[in-house]
Chain A
Amino acid sequence: MTGRILRWAGLAVVGVTVVLAVVLASRFGSDPGLVDSPLIGKPAPEFTLAGLDGSEGASLSDLRGDIVVVNFFASWCLECRDEHDDLVAASESFGDQDVTFLQVAYQEAAAESLSYLAEAGASSTTRYLADPGSRTAIAYGVFGIPETFFIDPEGTVVGKIIGEADALILGATIDSIRNGEQPGQQITGDTQQRPDA
């Protein structure tokens, strides 16, 4: 009798341990960057960045009153290449509607980003910015790219897209901000880290 009880108790412990192992193992390989951004609903971290080509660039505080779209990109990021045409289309469609598109080069030399933009085609309504020391990327909690943040006219972060953004998601997010909503975080796919990271 005692032996049988011991066997059942042992089996139960093994069973529960296996369940725990499966639950934990299921998390292996998942993207650690898929966490809710603590910036949503908070004032957007201020920044003043020079243009990739050394031009004046942009200061977030000067854009108060506009919806600001901040996209982190790089030439080595495949998802960024996939979303490029959509970002250009959205920027040019909303360009004269109090919406400002900023694209910040992430972990890349300005010359490489400029070369990529020359090849892919830059938007005339987007400002392309350099981020030396990744200070802005760190302030925005960037885990990988592409990541796109949406800042409302009052300077509050109200939305974030993790992964590739298409024109419909970009436009619909801007539409909802215009309607006074807070679209929050949307995950559309994977992000990428620099190949040598």
Chain B
Amino acid sequence: MSERTRNIASVAVIAVMSVALLLLTSTQPATSDRVQQIGTRIKCPVCQGESIANSPSQMAEDMMDLVSERVSSGVPDQQIIDELLGSYTGAVLLDPPASGNTLVLWVAPVVALAVGIAMILWWRRHPGPSADDATAPGKSRTRLVIGGVALVLAFAGIVAVAANSLQDRPAAAAGAADIDEQDLSEVSNETMEAVIAANVEDPQINGMRLALAERYFDSGDYRSAFPHYLVVAEDPNATGAEAITALVRLGWMAYDGNGEVETATRLIDEALAIDPGSAVARYVRARVLWCGAGETDQAIETFEELLTDPELATETRTQIEADLEIANDGGGECP
């Protein structure tokens, strides 16, 4: 076979192989191949670095079923992947996207290669002194220093970018909200009811229970306030102050809501048994007797006695002073 014939044959073989290769690569893969191809690009979200195509987990199986269904419906590969990214972010891509923070992972090797080639070229164009040339030691040192600095800077750059990228992840540090630290003024009644219902065994919940009961009491909703005051009043773990508040409120509601003077004074007396000096309990008791039993003189006496206490809370003092003025006004009826 002549040289020319051999050359023509070689060219023909290469041409045929190229066309075959082109045909092979341009043919749309079968549906099952497409599902498999997509599956190998998606990381199983509940596994450690496995694709959904290779993981035996139930989640991976479910995701492969979904991919298969979408492929059968004629949805393009990229759209299927984009749909999963819309739910999971790039965290489910086995190959990190060449954008955003993960761009560095694609660019760094190329930059490192370029720096390496540049250094080799620079080295070749600036050869060091030969063995018998001892006249240029300065050049050699400069070359080494520049090379070392470039290497260290390249490493430092990659570390800085990689560390920055990793720190962008949210930290699992929030922790469950602490009842004691929560600003209750911004919490709704429903939230407080839910927290109380979920923590009935926690003795520390009495603080929130009383705060909620006070909200109901202040708005005149005795029906909602009553069960919370009752729980605190009957709780052997409640503090003295908590029990007194609950008993005094229950007493006032018994009188104001149902006109039950006897029940009211009995409840308030229970509070006074805990702390006989409780100004609030003494004031409310005197008021119940004044309003419910017409005992104006006794009320005036108690009010005047309470006002001599220099440590009386300003709000209570203002209230007692107003009541005393009405009571003194010719035996005026309670407001």
Residue on B nearest A133 in the bound complex, by CB: B62
Q: Check if B197 sits within 8 Å of A16, measured CB to CB.
A: no
Contact with A along B158-183 (1 / 0, CB 8 A): 11001100100111111111010010
Q: Which residues of the other chain, B, contact A34 by a CB distance below 8 angstroms? A: 169-172
Interface hit among A6-14, A46-54, A56-64, A113-121: A6-14
Q: How many angstroms from the CA of A138 to the CA of B174 in the assembled complex?
A: 25
Q: Check if A175 sits within 8 Å of B186, measured CB to CB.
A: yes
Q: Check if A86 sits within 8 Å of B198, measured CB to CB.
A: yes
Q: Check if B152 sits within 8 Å of A171, measured CB to CB.
A: no
Q: How many angstroms from the CA of A90 to the CA of B199 in the assembled complex?
A: 12
Total number of A residues with any Cβ neighbor in B under 8 Å: 73
Interface-centre pick from A8, A38, A190 (highest chain B CB count, 10 A)? A38
Q: Is B191 an interface residue (CB 8 A)?
A: yes
Q: How many angstroms from the CA of A159 to the CA of B235 in the assembled complex?
A: 37
With known contacts A1-B141, A23-B163, A190–B65 Cβ distance under 8 A: no
Interface-centre pick from A97, A167, A170 (highest chain B CB count, 10 A)? A167
Residue on A nearest B192 in the bound complex, by CB: A171
Residue on A nearest B197 in the bound complex, by CB: A89
Q: How many angstroms from the CA of A20 to the CA of B161 in the assembled complex?
A: 10
Q: Is B148 an interface residue (CB 8 A)?
A: yes
Which of B46, B147, B149 touches A197 (beta carbons < 8 Å)? Answer: B46
Q: How many angstroms from the CA of A107 to the CA of B199 in the assembled complex?
A: 29
Interface hit among B27-35, B80-88, B310-318: B80-88
Interface-centre pick from A86, A165, A196 (highest chain B CB count, 10 A)? A86
Q: Is A126 an interface residue (CB 8 A)?
A: no
Q: Which residues of the other chain, A, contact B62 by a CB distance below 8 angstroms? A: 133-135, 138
Per the 8 Å Cβ criterion, residues 33-59 of B in contact with A are 45-47, 57-59
Q: Check if A89 sits within 8 Å of B85, measured CB to CB.
A: no
Q: Check if B87 sits within 8 Å of A16, measured CB to CB.
A: no
Q: Which residues of the other chain, A, contact B194 by a CB distance below 8 angstroms? A: 86, 89-90, 92-94, 167-168, 170-171
Q: How many angstroms from the CA of A16 to the CA of B182 in the assembled complex?
A: 44
Q: Is B117 an interface residue (CB 8 A)?
A: no
Q: Is B195 an interface residue (CB 8 A)?
A: yes
Q: How many angstroms from the CA of A150 to the CA of B102 in the assembled complex?
A: 29
Q: How many angstroms from the CA of A107 to the CA of B91 in the assembled complex?
A: 21
Q: Is A193 an interface residue (CB 8 A)?
A: yes
Contact with A along B128-164 (1 / 0, CB 8 A): 0000000001001100110111011001101100110
Per the 8 Å Cβ criterion, residues 177-226 of B in contact with A are 177, 179, 182, 186-188, 190-195, 197-199
Identify 17 new A-B residue pairs, CB closer than 8 A, beyond the known A9-B148, A33-B45, A36-B89.
A9-B149, A13-B155, A27-B166, A31-B172, A39-B86, A45-B87, A89-B197, A133-B66, A143-B45, A165-B176, A166-B176, A170-B194, A175-B188, A185-B170, A188-B175, A190-B172, A193-B59
Binding site for A on B (CB under 8 A): 45-47, 57-59, 62-63, 65-66, 84-89, 91, 137, 140-141, 144-145, 147-149, 151-152, 155-156, 158-159, 162-163, 166, 169-177, 179, 182, 186-188, 190-195, 197-199
The 8 closest A-B pairs by CB, nearest first: A171-B191, A9-B148, A141-B87, A89-B197, A93-B194, A89-B198, A134-B62, A167-B194
Binding site for B on A (CB under 8 A): 1-2, 5-6, 8-9, 12-13, 16-17, 19-20, 23-24, 26-27, 30-39, 42, 45, 85-86, 88-90, 92-94, 97, 107, 133-135, 137-144, 162-172, 174-175, 178, 185-190, 193-194, 196-197
